[in-house]
Amino acid sequence: MLKKSFFLVPCFLTLLSVLAFTSQKPAPVKTVIIDPGHGGADQGADGLMSTEAQITLALGRRLGERMAVEMPAVKVLFTRTTDIIPGNGRNKTEGLRYRANFANESKADLFISIHCNSAGKSPGGWNERRISGYTEQETYTGKGKKRHKVTIQVPEYETVYVTNEVKGTETYIWTAKENSHKEQLVGDNAEFASLDEDGAIQDNDPVINALKLIYTQKYFKKSLRLAELVQNEFEKRGRINRGVKQRNEKGIWVLHATGMPSILVEAGFISNKDEEAYMNSEQGQEEIVTDMINAIKGYINAQENSNPGSDKESKNKEGKALAVLPGEQKVSFLQKT
């Protein structure tokens, strides 16, 4: 009996240590980069009373302030907090590179870029010349003996004001079929770097390259999940959900250049008079930020409660695949409309 007791003690202690280890699961999101789009000389799209850079800065700062109160365990970093090109860059290109480098060097777990959409010929609306009807007019055609009188229809024109009515929200993730750049940067992410505790990772190691591909696919899933949560929150608010999209004809560079899950939120159409007013209002900004925070909380909660290998293909309302992992054959990419 005594021997059994001595045998059970180390087993029990081992079990306790295993339980302690598994219960101390690292937080899935420790650092978030908030990236208010544009800034400085690059003001982005124009509205009737504001610019894209002004709206995104207001939304970004409000989002960070709310996260600091409601999610104190998460470290929030900004690519800019004033009206400048990030990193005091001289042009848009330098600003984009700073954004990506800053996120990668910060070993962030999420990259959230905020933008405004634009459509149509001009914000608010535009004057357009249209045919309003026709009148009959007599004229002559032909020469000499063949000359004769004919009646023709002459168009009448009027100027009509066309209201810019395009509205709604959409969220972008990087284009999965163009993931080589993303894969190169994955190795800099804190989650991946934790695998290299003994400094054994080498750039050209085929095993490490395979791991980078796995992590790239993993980040694609996470980006898609967060983007869907953001759009779902906007839709619950009563806003038009234009979907989660990938810009296949021209990828969004900053999403490819960040080695972590990353999304770009189009908070609304600055070219639509009503949506511009909404995004500039206290109520509108508070609602947009609340929806984004709810999505981030939902994302973190899902990561904390997820089982490894349990991720499944995301579905839309009709049950069809929105997107699948990079390299898989069955892909139904959403296009920009």
The confidence score (pLDDT) of residue 145 equals: 78
Question: At which residue do the structure tokens 């839709």 appear?
Answer: 235
12-16, 42-46, 61-65, 265-269: the lowest-pLDDT one: 12-16
Percent of the chain residues past pLDDT 70, beyond the cut = 70
| Phi, psi of 132, rounded to the nearest 5 degrees | -100, -15
- Comparison of pLDDT for 103 and 201, the residue scoring more: 103
Tell me: pLDDT of 198 over 80: no
Structure tokens given for 248: 């296949």
Q: Which pLDDT score is estimated for 182?
A: 53
Split at pLDDT 50, 70, 90, the class of 91 is: very high
Domain ranges for the chain: 26-120+165-304, 125-162
Longest dimension (CA), the chain: 132
| pLDDT for 304 beyond 60 | yes
Whether the per-residue pLDDT at 144 is higher than 50: the answer is yes
Higher pLDDT, 252 or 104: 104
Q: In whole numbers, what is the pLDDT of the chain averaged over residues?
A: 79
pLDDT at 49: 96
- Among 12-21, 27-36, 81-90, 215-224, where is mean pLDDT lowest? 12-21
Q: What percent of the chain has pLDDT over 90?
A: 50
CA distance 115 to 78: 14
pTM: 0.74
pLDDT at 178 over 60: no
* Most trustworthy range by pLDDT among 24-28, 51-55, 119-123: 51-55
3-state SS, one letter per residue, for the chain? CHHHHHHHHHHHHHHHHHHHHHHCCCCCCCEEEEEECCECCECCCECCCCEHHHHHHHHHHHHHHHHHHHCCCCEEEECCCCCCCHHHCCCHHHHHHHHHHHHHHCCCCEEEEEEEECCCCCCCEEEEEEEEEEEEEEEEECCHHHCEEEEEEEEEEEEEEEECCCCCEEEECCCHHHCHHHHHHHCCCHHHHHHHCCCCCCCCCHHHHHHHHHHHHHHHHHHHHHHHHHHHHHHHCCCCEEEEECCCCCCCHHHHCCCCCEEEEEEEECCCHHHHHHHHCHHHHHHHHHHHHHHHHHHHHHHHCCCCCCCCCCECCCCCECCCCCCCCCCCCCCCC
CATH number belonging to the domain at 26-120+165-304, selected among 3.90.245.10, 1.20.1250.20, 3.40.50.300, 3.40.630.40: 3.40.630.40
Q: Which residues of 285-306 are buried (b: 16+ CB within 10 A; e: fewer)?
A: bebbbbbbbbbbbbbbeebeee
Whether the predicted pLDDT of 134 surpasses 60: yes
Chain segment 233-261, per-residue pLDDT in tens = 999 999 999 999 987 656 687 888 888 89
Alpha-carbon span 254 to 42, nearest angstrom? 15
pLDDT confidence band for 331 (50 / 70 / 90): very low
Band (pLDDT 50/70/90 cuts) for residue 8 is: very low
Q: Lowest mean pLDDT: which of 47-56, 176-185, 188-197, 289-298?
A: 188-197
pLDDT band at 184 (very low <50, low <70, confident <90, very high): low
Strands 262-269 and 241-245: unpaired
